[in-house]
Chain A
Amino acid sequence: MAAPDMLDTVGERPGALARVRAGAAPFLRNRAFVTGAVLFGFIVFATAATPLLTDAAPNELSIRDRFQPPSLQFLLGTDNLGRDMLARVLYGARLSLGIGLSVVLINALLGVALGALAGYYSRLDDILMRIADALMAFPAVLLAIGIAAALGPSAVTAVVALSVVYVPRTARVVRSSVLVVRELDFVQAARAGGATDLRILRRHVLPNCLAPLIVQLSFVFAYAVLSEAVLSFLGLGAPPTVPSWGILISEGRAYLREAPWLTIVPGIAIAITALGLNLLGDGLRDVLDPRMKVEQG
C-alpha cells in the first residue's frame, strides 16, 4: 500500500513533471499493460514506418524469386509470384489495423450508447434487445457475408458488415452491466442529489461498467481482424490488390506445405496484434480500477 503521507498532501501542488510521473506510475507497474503496450506499439510503429523499413513494393512481381524462403535478401521470404512478404505484411497491416480499429471505434460508440439506453430505460430495452436478438440469431460470419455481399466488396463494406455483427454483442455486454450497476445505492444517491439521467449514466453507471467493456472491445478487435480475413478470402473484403493479412493467409493457404512462411508470417502478425491488444485491455482495466491500486502500490 502507498504511504498515507504521499496520498494526503493538502494544498501543495506537485510540479508538472512529478505529476506526469505519478500518473504514469500505475501503468508502468502493471506488467500486462506494459507487455501489451510493447507488442501493440511494435505493430503500430511498423505500420507507420513501413517505407523506412523496406524498399520493396507489396505488389512488385518477380517470377524468378518465387517461393524464396526467408533469407537476408527477403527477410520474410516471397510468395508464389515472387512478391516480398515483408512488404506485403507491413502494407497489409494498414488495412487490417484500420478495419479492426474502425470496428472497435464504432462498437465503442454505438454499442455503448445502445447498451446504456437499453439497460437504463426499461421502455427501450424490449425494442432494442429484440432487434439485437434478431441480428445475433444469425451466425456472425454468415451475417457479415450476407451484408458484404449485398453492399459489394470494399474495405468500407467490411467495416459496416463487421460492425453490424459486433455492435449488438457489445451492446448486450454493456446493457447487462448497466442493469446491475443502475440498481446500486450510489446511483440512487446520485438521483437523490439531483443528477440528470445523462450525468448519472456518464459519471456513475458507465465508469463502473468499464471492465467488461474493455475486455469485449479487445476481443472485438481480434475478431474483426480475423473476420476481415474471412470476408477477403471469399472476395467480399478489400480488392485483392491491397494485401490485408486475411488475404495473405488465404492466398498462402494453397502452398501451406511448400512455403509455410506465407501463412505463418501474417498469422504471427495477427497473433501479436490480438495478444498485445488483449494484454493492453486487461492492464487498462486493472489500472483504471481504483480498487486495484492498493494491492499493487
Chain B
Amino acid sequence: MREPLLRVDGLVKHFKLASSNNLIRQKPVVRAVNGIAFDIAVGETLGLVGESGCGKSTVGRLILRLIEPTAGSVRFAGEDVLAMKPAPLRHMRKDMQIIFQDPHASLNPRLTVEEIILEPLLSQGARPSPELSRHAADTLDKVGLPARYRHRHPHQFSGGQRQRIGIARAIASNPRFVVCDEAVSALDVSVQAQVVNLLQDIKDEMGISYLFIGHDLAVVRHIADRIAVMYLGRIVEMAGTESLFGAPLHPYTQALMAAVPVHHPRLRRERSRVRGELPSPLRPPPGCHFHPRCPFAQDKCRSESPLLRTLAAGHEVACHFAEEIAAAGRNTEASASREATDAHH
C-alpha cells in the first residue's frame, strides 16, 4: 500500500498546569490528547468530531506543530514532522495550512486582504511583485470574493467573507493538506452551507486533503470521507462516513447521533441516553473514559481501557461490548421506525 499523505501515530499532549504552590514539584497535568492515531490519504477528508474540550482542536495544532506534542509521531509525505529543524519546518509549512474557527480573530486587523493572503508566501521569502498581486486576486476569485476587495481591511467584511479570506490565505501557498479547525462553526447556517461547498470545490480542484474538525455531525457528514469520534483525548470510533452513520458502534457515537435534532416530532427518538457532563481531563476516569456516562457500562469498563479494534472493514471502535450494543441498538431502532410508520397511518 502507498504511504498515506499524513500518518499520525501515538500522539500525546499533556499540558502541565501552573501549580498554586511552587514548592510542590508535582504539577497537575491535563491529558488533552492521549494516544491518537490515524492516516489521511491524498485527497481524502477525515472528519474529527467530539464535544468541546475533548482535544480535537489540539490534535490539529499538534499536527502542524503550532504546539509541541509530548509524545508520538507525525509523518507528512514521508517526512517526520516532529523531528524537523526550524528552517526546513518553516519551508514545509506552505504544504500544511490551517483555517480557524473565529473569522474575527484569525485576520490581522492592520493588514490589507492582499497582505493577509500573501503573508504565507512572503514569510517564505517571496518578494512583493505584480505577479504576486495577481496571484492574490486569483486566489480571492477562487474563494468567491471580487479581486477589487484586495486593498480593504478585514473589518470591512462580514463573518462569511472573512472566513473566505481565511480560506484564501490557507490555499494561497498551494498546500496539500489543510486543517479546518471548526471552520464553519462560527457562521450563520445559511453561510455555513456556502462555505462548506466552497471547501468541497477547492478540494476537488486542488486535490487537497482535509482534517475537518467540527462538532456539528450534519456538516461533517456532508464533507468527510471518513470520520473519527473523539472522547476525552482518545478516538473511540473511526469509520467511513456512511458506515458510521449507518451503524454507529460506540455508545458515545450513538448518543451523539441521538442528539442531532430531528424535525418531525413523530420521528423523534428517545433523548440522549448519556448522563452527566464531560469528566475533567485532569482526572480522567479509569478504564474506559466513557464508563461513568455509559448506559451499558459493566465492571470490565471500569478497570480495563478498551483499544481501538476493527469490527467491520475499515470500521474501528474502542468498546468492550460493541457487538452486543450494536445488536441491541438495531432492535430498538427497528421497533422505533415501526412505531413511526404506525403513527403515520
Interface contact B123-A185, CB-CB below 8 Å: no
Contacting residues, chain A, for B123 (C-beta < 8 A): 190, 193-196, 199
Q: Which of B22-66 contact A (CB under 8 A)?
A: 61, 64, 66
Produce 1/0 per residue, A186-198, CB < 8 A to B.
1011111111100
Within 8 A of B (CB), among A148-205: 184-186, 188-196, 199, 203-204
Q: Are A190 and B119 in contact (CB under 8 A)?
A: yes
Interface residues on B, range: 35 or more
CB–CB A188/B66 < 8 A: yes
Binding site for B on A (CB under 8 A): 7-8, 10, 184-186, 188-196, 199, 203-204, 207-208, 289-291, 293-294
The interface residues of chain A lying within 8 Å CB-to-CB of B61 are: 188
| Contacting residues, chain A, for B97 (C-beta < 8 A) | 192-193
- Shortest CB-to-CB span from B123 to chain A, Å, is 4
In chain A, what residue has the closest Cβ to B149? A8
Measured between beta carbons, the chain A residues less than 8 angstroms from B110 are: 207-208, 290
In angstroms, Cα B151 to Cα A190, docked, is 19
How many angstroms between the C-alpha atoms of A291 and B112 in the bound complex?
A: 11
Give a binary string over B61-101; 1 marks a CB under 8 Å from any A CB, 0 the rest: 10010100000000000000000000000110110111011
A189–B102 Cα distance when bound, in Å, is 12
Contact between A193 and B120, CB atoms less than 8 A apart:
yes
Q: Is the CB of B106 within 8 A of A191?
A: no
Q: Which of A188, A195, A196, A294 lies in contact with B119, CB distance below 8 A?
A: A195
Closest to A8 in B: B148
| Cβ B152 vs Cβ A189 within 8 A | no
Within 8 Å CB of B106, what residues of A? 184-186, 188-189
Known contacts A8-B151, A194-B91; A294 and B169 CB within 8 A of each other: no
Q: Which of B107-166 contact A (CB under 8 A)?
A: 107-111, 119-120, 123-124, 147-149, 151-153, 155-156, 166
Q: Are A188 and B98 in contact (CB under 8 A)?
A: yes
Which residues of B sit under 8 angstroms from A190, Cβ to Cβ? 108, 119, 123
A209 to chain B: closest CB distance in Å?
A: 11
Q: Is B173 an interface residue (CB 8 A)?
A: yes
| Distance between Cα atoms of A188 and B120 in the complex (Å) | 12
Q: Most chain-B Cβ atoms within 10 A of its Cβ — which of A186, A194, A207, A291?
A: A194
Q: Is the CB of A294 within 8 A of B156?
A: yes
Most buried by A among B98, B108, B151: B108
The 4 A-B pairs of least Cβ separation, nearest first, read A193-B120, A194-B93, A185-B106, A195-B123
CB <8 Å contact, A294 and B90: no
* Nearest chain A residue, comparing its CB with the CB of B110: A207
A294 vs B156: C-alpha distance when bound (angstroms): 8
7 further A-B pairs in the complex, CB-CB below 8 A; given A189-B119, A193-B94, A194-B124: A185-B106, A189-B98, A190-B108, A190-B123, A193-B120, A203-B119, A208-B108
Contact A290 B109 (CB under 8 A): yes
**B107 x A186 contact (CB < 8 A):** yes
Pairs A–B under 8 Å by Cβ, sample size 5: A10-B147, A184-B105, A188-B98, A189-B169, A194-B120
- B residues in contact with A196, CB < 8 Å: 90, 123
Residue of A nearest to B112 (CB): A290
**Complex Cα gap A54–B296 (Å):** 96
**CB proximity of A26 to chain B, nearest CB, Å:** 13
In the complex, which residues of chain A have a beta carbon less than 8 angstroms from the beta carbon of B119? 189-190, 193, 195, 203
Q: How far is the CB of B176 from chain A (nearest CB, A)?
A: 14
B148 neighbours in A (Cβ, 8 Å):
8, 10
Q: Can you list, as one digit per residue, whether each of B164-182 has a CB less than 8 Å from chain A (1) or not (0)?
A: 0010010001000000000
Q: In the complex the two chains form, is A185's CB within 8 Å of B100's CB?
A: yes
Structural contact, B66 and A194, CB atoms closer than 8 A: no
Bound: A289/B154 CA distance, A: 12
Q: Roughly how many angstroms separate A153 CA and B340 CA in the complex, as a whole number? A: 94
